[in-house]
Amino acid sequence: MTHKDSHLPLPHILLAVAVMAVWGSNFVVIKIALTHLPPLLFATLRFTLAFLPAALFIRRPKVPWSHLAAYGVLIGAGQFGLLYIAMDGFISPGLASLVIQIQVFFTVGLAMWFTGERVKSYQLVALVLAAVGLGIIIAHRGGDVTALGLILVLLAALGWAGGNQVAKASATTDMLSYVIWSSLFAVPPLLVLSLLYDGWPAIETGVANADLTTWAAVLYQSVGNTMFGYASWGWLLNRHPAATVAPFALLVPVFGMGCSTLLLGEPLQGWKLIAAALVLLGLAVNVAWPRLARRRAAVTLPS
């Protein structure tokens, strides 16, 4: 097994934060697109555009077809199919951006189960701090979530965590090609589910009513969220332990709340700022602790 460094160099940290910014703003984009497109049709279009035309120019990665299929189904139908249904009237964008981060705990738990990774004490402290921040947001959620919405997003989080494990098992460095070709396997189940769940009348109406903003949202999902976001995320997971990389996803609700405030006019109360501060503190502990430990060890080593 290739050794994975728990120390994140600055360029990797900046890449992770950029991915979180894209994923955080994504929830506002989803809400905009769902005003015209039914949820599973939206997901089908997203992964269709992620596969074509890019697959005509980028070769299939040298990984088993079964890995591509598993990743495509888990991320496509599992994560985003369920998330889009939930956000279509069952949960608000800000709260969805929060609850989906339960994938952090699912990802770390699955990594411990399948690969034997151990969570270090400082990582556990980081997760507890972030979990308190998430708990504060949940406690103040108000009436903007239904039980069905909560269950759907939790299942979507489990799909995301499962996709993380498949990507790690594939051990490929060409994650852009991996994400593009795995999208091929997301389309068929999403299309069938769209016909069953959305229904043909809603599909026809959605396509007819879609404007330039809607199609821009679909393109943002395909290129920004899927191709850039998941390719970069998988690339990081292949180079560092899951317990080091996964907590970065806790920044998604911070960006999500910020974008919702700026673009949708949602209020940013004091409790949200406190919760965001706790999430950021947890992330800071997770990233900074190994660096501080190395410096301390270097200082105490005999000359």
User: Which position has the higher pLDDT, 197 or 301?
Assistant: 197
User: Which position has the higher pLDDT, 163 or 92?
Assistant: 163
Asked if 27 and 80 touch (Cβ cutoff 8 Å), the reply is: no
Give the pLDDT mean for 25-36.
90
The confidence band for 53, taking pLDDT boundaries of 50, 70 and 90, is: confident
The confidence band for 301, taking pLDDT boundaries of 50, 70 and 90, is: low
Every domain of the chain and the residues it spans: 10-297
Q: How far apart are CA 130 and CA 111, in angstroms?
A: 19
Q: What pLDDT does 38 receive?
A: 95
Query: What's the chain's average pLDDT?
Result: 84
Give the pLDDT mean for 237-247.
77
Q: How far apart are CA 255 and CA 259, in angstroms?
A: 6
Give the pLDDT mean for 149-172.
88
**pLDDT tens column, 191-235:** 999 999 999 999 999 999 999 999 999 999 888 887 888 788 878
Q: What pLDDT does 34 receive?
A: 92
Q: What pLDDT does 73 receive?
A: 96
Q: How far apart are CA 261 and CA 255, in angstroms?
A: 10
